[in-house]
């Protein structure tokens, strides 16, 4: 049987973000324990597509971020407490940042280009606790 040879397009854009400011580290290299942040949930019926994830450091004067790594995990929609439900799909180094009032801090983007089955989720963790924190936004679409 031939596979689908037609392009698949999302029906509507889907931009999601962590409802929390991401600051706390997770000493584990998986999300079965420690702090993890839910960043995206695919449509429960048709699934979704994730184009990229953006990490924007907060530029509070006097609150700086030490260098860290952001780890991005795919979860099958079940409990994160079981390692069989999660997989590390990518990570990105985030440099130390110094917040000032007269200059913008850059955004760090991680391209994913990932088609997600219905109900799957994306979680993010940090390797080191940071003071000012990061806002995380996921750019994608719903099928």
pLDDT, tens digit, for every residue of 89-104? 999 999 999 988 888 8
- Of residues 40 and 5, the one with the higher pLDDT is 40
CB neighbours of residue 31 within 10 Å? 24
User: Cα-Cα-Cα-Cα dihedral of 104, 132, 70, 14, to 10°?
Assistant: -70
Model confidence at 138: pLDDT above 90: yes
d(CA 94, CA 84): 27
- The mean pLDDT of 57-64, rounded to a whole number, is 80
Digit-coded pLDDT (tens) for 26-35:
988 889 989 9
Predicted pLDDT at 101: 81
Model confidence at 1: pLDDT above 60: no
Predicted pLDDT at 75: 97
Q: Around 137, how many Cα atoms within 13 Å sit in the side-chain half-sphere? A: 9
Model confidence at 39: pLDDT above 80: yes
Q: Which of 72, 71, 25 is nearest to 50 (CA)?
A: 72
Digit-coded pLDDT (tens) for 66-78:
999 999 999 999 9
DSSP count for the chain of H helices, then E strands: 0, 8
Tokens linked to 18:
């962590």
Q: Are 52 and 139 in contact (CB under 8 A)?
A: yes
């Amino acid at each position: 049987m031939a596979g689908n040879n037609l392009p698949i397009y999302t029906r509507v854009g889907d931009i999601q973000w962590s409802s929390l400011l991401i600051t706390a580290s997770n000493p584990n290299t998986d999300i079965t324990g420690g702090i993890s942040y839910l960043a995206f949930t695919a449509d429960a019926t048709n699934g979704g597509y994730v184009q990229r994830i953006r990490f924007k450091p907060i530029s509070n004067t006097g609150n700086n971020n030490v260098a860290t790594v952001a780890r991005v995990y795919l979860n099958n929609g079940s409990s994160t407490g079981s390692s069989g439900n999660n997989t590390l799909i990518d990570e990105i180094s985030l440099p130390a940042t110094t917040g000032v009032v007269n200059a913008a801090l850059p955004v760090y983007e991680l391209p994913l280009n990932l088609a997600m089955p219905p109900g799957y989720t994306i979680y993010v963790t940090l390797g080191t606790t940071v003071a000012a924190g990061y806002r995380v936004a996921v750019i994608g679409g719903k099928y």
